[in-house]
Amino acid sequence: MARYREDENFGLVVRRIVLGGLIVLCLLLVAVWRIDNPRIERLRAQVVEAIVPRLEWALVPLTVMTRMAGDFQSYSRLYEQNQQLRRELQQMRSWREAAIQLEQENARLLELNNVRLDPELTFVTGTVLADSGTTFRRSVLLNLGSQDDVRDGLAAMDGIGLVGRIAGVGESTSRVLLLSDSASLVPVTVQPSGQRALLVGDNSVAPLLEFVENPDQVRPGDRVVSSGDDGLFPSGLLVGQVALDRDGRFRVRLAADYGRLEYLRVLRAQPRAPVAPPIPVGEAGAAQPDGEAAPADTTADADAVPEVPPGD
Amino acid sequence: MIDGGFLQVWSYRALFLLLAGGLALVALLPINTAEPGIPRPDLLLCLVAAWTLRRPDFAPLWLIAVAGLVLDFLLFRPPGSWTLALILAAETLNRQAQRDADPTFAVEMVQVAAAVAVAHVVNRVLLVLVGAPRPSAGAVVIEILFTLLAYPLVAVVSVLILRVRRPDPQSGFGF
């Protein structure tokens, strides 16, 4: 009996030690994550790299199956959809006409202005592997990584609009922080008026438009494009349309189809400002304006072009 | 006999890891990328609670820590934050299980509710302390509610299908 008790005590002590050790380990990890964030995020990228591609065999069929089930449900609304599509098609025809006219006009104006479009802007297309967002963080994992020359900060788009930026790159996977994540901040331009503003994610489907220079000139329905002021994104990428929410704040209805993020394009801007060498801070600060000078030029040009048509 | 028990315990531990992996897989599916709206119940927490209350040896703390850490890394949470919450929830449940070896299901629900609350409070305090971004309080409350709604289901599946039951043979089903 005494022996049994001893064993039990021993077990209890071991359990306490394990518990204490694990608590300390977790606290340490969180502390290190806070203090030396890049190192832990690199570790995270490696963990993701090690696990997610291996799950692809399960992830892909499951995703496809659920999506097919969703599509199947929509068969029941076939008639409605048909009607809706017809209406949309009609609208599109008129838009197409308008687009062709604008394209010709644009070509003429570009020639007049002698604008050189950035020829070094290439893109690489990847598949969305996984939705790594929890309720509170919005991000997806992409099957592109450093081996595809993907780097932190690059812009990711679906066919139409901006989706987010790369944050966290592994060898063959990378994470896209969506515009709706609360950590996402993107400088944008509201189109006809040319107002600068900041697109701030707040975990809702439509991010907030904040710090508008002159809110009177912004109207719901205005186009929102990236301004390129951060030196990360090229300017002029379509983001979405301005909308007013119930509290009277400006939000942006995103152009990208967030419901179906399947293929994303990562825009690889030319490496014009090579990543600043980790030497003197003062020098790096001085070097930055040089790096930003190039995008700033294109921004000015891009802004100048759309401003002409309204007067036309 | 010892061999049989040994084999059983380790196969259940493997099953635990497998289930945690399955939950991670479901969480990672890129289906609902648009709607951040409704929080999902934390099924891993339910699983940990159901197993810890019945057979703590099937889900020992270190195993919970391993599963929690991998999920933290994959779901882009501050690594260790939710793991710590899981471990402390498991520890509270384990103490309660030692005090009351065969509770009714209503008592068990209260115990689990307390543990879930402990997990979320620990997590929130930690996030506040390090100044990390944290979810809104309303969303957390909804998540707690969903987790508690999902718990009976997880418990029933654990007992009836996975046969994780209290070792005590007198208590019938071992619920």
ipTM: 0.84
Does A135 lie at the interface with B, CB-CB under 8 angstroms? Answer: yes
- A104 with A132, same domain? no
In a domain, A248, yes or no: yes
Residue contacts between A and B (CB atoms, under 8 Å)? 144
Distance between B135 CA and the closest CA of chain A, angstroms? 6
Distance between A184 CA and the closest CA of chain B, angstroms? 12
Total count of domains within chain A: 2
Asked if the model's pLDDT at residue A286 lies above 50, the reply is no
pLDDT tens for each residue of B120-172: 999 999 989 888 877 788 888 888 999 999 999 999 998 888 888 877 654 44
In a domain, A276, yes or no: no
- A154 with A267, same domain? yes
pLDDT tens for each residue of A194-239: 888 999 988 788 899 888 888 888 888 888 888 877 777 888 888 8
Task: Give the H or E element holding residue B97.
Answer: helix B81-99
- A131 with A215, same domain? yes
> In a 3-state reduction of DSSP, which class is residue B123?
helix
- A241 with A142, same domain? yes
- Mean pLDDT value across residues B52-60: 87
Looking at A61, A96, A113, the residue that finishes a domain is: A113
- CATH code, A195: 2.40.10.340
- A134 with A246, same domain? yes
pLDDT tens for each residue of A158-187: 877 889 989 888 888 898 989 888 888 899
In a domain, A53, yes or no: no
Question: Cβ of A131 and B80 within 8 Å?
Answer: no
- A151 with A103, same domain? no
Question: Cβ of B30 and A30 within 8 Å?
Answer: no
Does B111 lie at the interface with A, CB-CB under 8 angstroms? Answer: no
- A87 with A194, same domain? no
- Mean pLDDT value across residues A31-45: 86
- A156 with A266, same domain? yes
Give the model's pLDDT for residue A45: 86
- A149 with A259, same domain? yes
Domain hosting A207: range is: 122-271+290-304
